[in-house]
Structure 1
Amino acid sequence: MSTEFRDLLKKVGSGSHTSKPLTREEAAIAGRLMLNQTATPAQIGAFLIAHRIKRPVPAELAGLLDAYADLGPILPPIQHPHPLVVLGCPYDGRSRTAPVTPITALMLAAANVPTLLHGGDRMPTKYGLPFVDIWQHWGLPLDQLNLVQVHTLLQRTHFGFVHLPRHFPAAHALVAYREEIGKRPPLATIELMWCPYEGNAHVVSGFVHPPTEVLARETFALQNQTSFTTVKGMEGSCDLPFSRTAIIGMAQPDGHFERLLLHPNDYGFGNKDVPMGTETDYLEQLSAVLLGKPDPLTETAIWNGGFYLWRFGVCNTIEEGFGKAKDLLSSGAVEAKLAEVKAALHP
């Protein structure tokens, strides 16, 4: 048993009237003690549920991110003039709406914007479709690469993926607690903001509940992460919805922050999110999207891709972004990028 961890647990778990938030330094210590298994399973489980009930504050999230930076994988910078884009989505996947984040990542890479995603395998509490299953469907064994190979792939193709079980087993060892406590712990929140990259990066953080965005903004400030985008996306992902106005927060390196509200009807798009259906049908549907064929999911990919192409400076206006996204799909450029990644993995 760790007496040091027990003292931190007592601080956050003493009840609504006497519990106190941890300092950033204390949260970093707690994170390291959990990741290196110095804390016992009983202590870790108690901390995670107590911390969820108390609700984390930005300093605590920043401290946990410090622990991830200390003990987790960090990819060295690649040689590229554009900041790397990191797309942060919930690790427990999607179960209600069809994701297009992988298409967005390939589209950005095809437009010469280096893009990195990260995630795990099937994960509680939702056990939705994870990114790794989509990569495997496309014949991309990204979960088998070591970090050197991930960095090489990112440098060569401008596309990469950090796999939690393979590249951060200490964090993956904490996944089982999500099933045992039946709730997402605060670790699920920092995954939305985690940047496993050493160079200049722009982090996109999906969220569901408005308080999460406030936490993200204040945590990014403590981390000196000045370039970021927050998206009230489908199921907390980075995917902009059709069924409601997209609520987006955009921060610039100079500290300026603005709110952007985008409604698909204003740009000629529909108003219904594409349901997941069966995962088999969805994975087959992706083939049509890669070719730019008429399909509701293709429209979703254009809606998302167009916004991100504009956000990251490929296009001067959002309208130009939608046209560029459509052209990248219909011309086969996105499919060619997938083929390039596959060739790099299977020389």
Structure 2
Amino acid sequence: MSKEFRELLRKVGSGPHTSKNLTREESAQAMKLMLTQEATPAQIGAFLIAHRIKRPTGTELAGMLDAFEQWGPKIPALSSGQTVIVLSQPYDGRDRTCPVGPLTALVLATAGCPVIQHGGDRMPTKEGIPLVELWEGLGVNWRSPSLLATQDILEKTNVGFVYLPKYFPEAQKLVIYREEIGKRPPLATLELIWVPYAGKHHVVAGFVHPPTENMIAEALSLRGVSTFTTVKGLEGSCDLPQERTAIIGLYDLTKAENALTRLRLHAADFGLGGKNPVWTNLVDYLELAQATLNGEQTPLRSALIWNSAFYLWQHTDAPNLETAIAKAEKLIDDGLVKQQWHRLQLYAK
């Protein structure tokens, strides 16, 4: 038993009237003691559920990120020094709507924007489809390459992925607690803003509830991250919805005033509205994805163009969303995204 961890547990787990928030340093130490398994299983489980009930603060998330920074892996920086876009998705996956994140990454990569994603296998509590299985179905293997090999793939294809069980086994050992406590722990929010990359980057973090967005903004601000994006996306991902308003936060903390630009975008205003494509199973999804990359008119096409266009608008020289939509359509219809996909298959196999 860790006596040090017990004191931190007492602080967050004393109930609604006497519990206290951890300092950033205390939160980092708590995360370290969990990653190194110096805290016992009983202590870890108690801490995670107590912290969920209390609700984490931005300061506590910043401390947890400090620990991940120390213990977690990092893909070495691109030789070009180019900014990498980090597209997040909850680690416990998706089970209601079709994820477009991997396909969006391919479009961005084709346009010269490097993208990194990260995650593990099927994970409690949702047990939804994880990114690594989607990529695997597309013929891209992210389970095997080393970090240096991943950097090489990123250099050559503008796409990279950090697979949690291989690269960060200390964090992977905490996955079992999700099933045992039956609830998403604060780690689920942490994973949306963790960046396993050593170079310049731009985080895009999905969220569901407004308090989570505030927490994310506070944590990243404390960590010295000046620009980042938040998206009230599908199932907590950064996939923009089509059938409702896309609520987006563009943060630039270098500005003394108006550090947050709030966007409310409607896909229907750009001819891309409609129902969000429904998730059924991996076989159906892969059939849709491949047809979409072939330039066919599929139920997934408008979702991919809508998402790709937004990120192209934000991260390329596209002056407006209309121009970015036309650019996304052309990249797909000219077969360039398909070529990029096959190039990635060649290097990540």
Q: Work out whether the TM-score is over 0.5.
A: yes
SS of corresponding position for 2:87: strand
SS of corresponding position for 1:47: helix
Residue ranges of structure 1 left out of the alignment (5+ in a row):
none
Tell me whether 1:13 sits opposite 2:18 in the alignment.
no
Give the RMSD, CA atoms, in angstroms. 1.1
SS of corresponding position for 1:160: strand
Distance 2:340 2:317 in 1: 17
Of 279-288 and 186-195, the range deviating more from structure 2: 279-288
Residue ranges of structure 2 left out of the alignment (5+ in a row):
none
SS of corresponding position for 2:248: strand
Tell me whether 1:70 sits opposite 2:73 in the alignment.
no
1:190 maps to which residue? 190
Of 200-209 and 73-82, the range deviating more from structure 2: 73-82
> 2:340 aligned to 319, 337, 341, which one?
337
Q: Deviations over 1:271-328 (max 9, x none)?
A: 3111112222112111111112101211100000000000112411110111111111
Contact map agreement 1:201 1:227 (CA 8 A) in 2: no
SS of corresponding position for 1:38: coil
Distance 1:289 1:279 in 2: 15
Contact map agreement 1:265 1:271 (CA 8 A) in 2: yes
SS of corresponding position for 1:276: coil
Q: CA deviation at 1:122?
A: 0.5
Q: CA deviation at 1:253?
A: 6.0
- State the one-letter code of the partner of 2:60: E
Tell me whether 1:315 sits opposite 2:318 in the alignment.
yes
Q: CA deviation at 1:252?
A: 2.8
Contact map agreement 1:111 1:314 (CA 8 A) in 2: no
Tell me whether 1:37 sits opposite 2:24 in the alignment.
no
- State the one-letter code of the partner of 1:101: G
Tell me whether 1:283 sits opposite 2:266 in the alignment.
no
1:295 maps to which residue? 298
Q: CA deviation at 1:80?
A: 2.6
Distance 2:298 2:287 in 1: 12
Q: CA deviation at 1:81?
A: 5.0
Of 11-20 and 333-342, the range deviating more from structure 2: 333-342
SS of corresponding position for 2:193: coil
The correspondence of residues 164-313 of structure 1 with structure 2, limited to 5 A, is 164-252=164-252, 254-255=254-255, 256-313=259-316
Q: Deviations over 1:176-219 (max 9, x none)?
A: 10000000000000100001112111000001111111111111
SS of corresponding position for 1:261: strand
In the alignment of these two chains, the number of paired residues is 346
Distance 2:85 2:165 in 1: 22
Q: CA deviation at 1:270?
A: 2.2
Q: Deviations over 1:248-286 (max 9, x none)?
A: 000236343200000111111223111112222112111
1:102 maps to which residue? 102
SS of corresponding position for 1:64: helix
Of 58-67 and 252-261, the range deviating more from structure 2: 252-261
Deviation beyond 3 Å, 4+ runs, structure 1: none
Using the aligned pairs only, state the percent identity.
53
- State the one-letter code of the partner of 2:338: E
2:328 maps to which residue? 325
Distance 2:126 2:264 in 1: 28
Contact map agreement 2:134 2:282 (CA 8 A) in 1: no
- State the one-letter code of the partner of 1:8: L
2:22 maps to which residue? 22
Of 244-253 and 47-56, the range deviating more from structure 2: 244-253
SS of corresponding position for 1:143: coil
Distance 1:334 1:46 in 2: 47
Q: CA deviation at 1:73?
A: 0.2
Distance 1:76 1:147 in 2: 8
**Cα distance, 1:253–1:108 mapped onto 2, change above 3 Å:** farther
